[in-house]
Chain A
Amino acid sequence: GDSVTQMEGPVTLSEEAFLTINCTYTATGYPSLFWYVQYPGEGLQLLLKATKADDKGSNKGFEATYRKETTSFHLEKGSVQVSDSAVYFCALSDTGDDKIIFGKGTRLHILP
């Protein structure tokens, strides 16, 4: 079945550091890919998405590129801020499927 694997956390970085959170997926069709973010005490929010190979999703300085050849959708940000501290979930929705499948989440701590 479809699945998402993302790097385990927690990830701790200093402010202004470069961020990469790795995500790979397995799907039977041609999935849409997502990154969601969960701030403390809140529900998940869509951060960015890509719907086909080579698409790049971007938002709030974060970006991720849909790589079909490596079945990956790594999240990157050039300069993180303390306010980026949260849990980040990689996710997919396969062709013809109305549900989203999530990875386990990666907790990110940014130190001032």
Chain B
Amino acid sequence: NAGVMQNPRHLVRRRGQEARLRCSPMKGHSHVYWYRQLPEEGLKFMVYLQKENIIDESGMPKERFSAEFPKEGPSILRIQQVVRGDSAAYFCASSPSIGGVGGTNEKLFFGSGTQLSVL
């Protein structure tokens, strides 16, 4: 029973390049969350998606960042024209149902993260 899979584990990009981070949720999970962890800071919520829908993107920067969760395949977090300040660990989490966090059976399952380094 594979957990949440993120790849790559480490990604190095030069300024101005594009970064694509992938997340495959746990089997049977249809809800995906992306978080960013900057050095010396906690995890900051970025976006919450269900299959083919963005539910809450209140934590996403207005420019250069986008996320999708297609009907088939993994969720993708895309960062265009990366800058040094984008260097961080990006974590994906999945949950099995709506209200998966506030309900009585909630659990958020995290992947091991992608460490993005921008040179």
Contact = CB atoms under 8 A, between A and B. Distances in A.
A111 interface: no
Interface in A5-30: none
Interface residues of B, number: 29
B43 interface: yes
Contacts, number: 62
Contact of A43 (B45, B55, B110): B110
A99 B104 contact: no
A89 B42 contact: yes
A69 interface: no
Interface residues of A, number: 24
Contacts of A93: 101-102, 106
Interface string B100-119: 11101011101111000000
Interface string B22-49: 0000000001010100001111110010
B98 A46 contact: no
B interface, over-half SS:
loop
Given A43-B91, A43-B113, A98 B42 contact: no
B4 interface: yes
Interface of B: 3-4, 31, 33, 35, 40-45, 48, 55-56, 91, 93, 98-102, 104, 106-108, 110-113
Given A99-B56, A102-B42, A102-B44, 15 more contacts: A4-B42, A43-B4, A43-B111, A43-B112, A44-B91, A93-B102, A95-B102, A97-B102, A98-B98, A98-B101, A99-B33, A100-B108, A102-B35, A104-B40, A104-B42
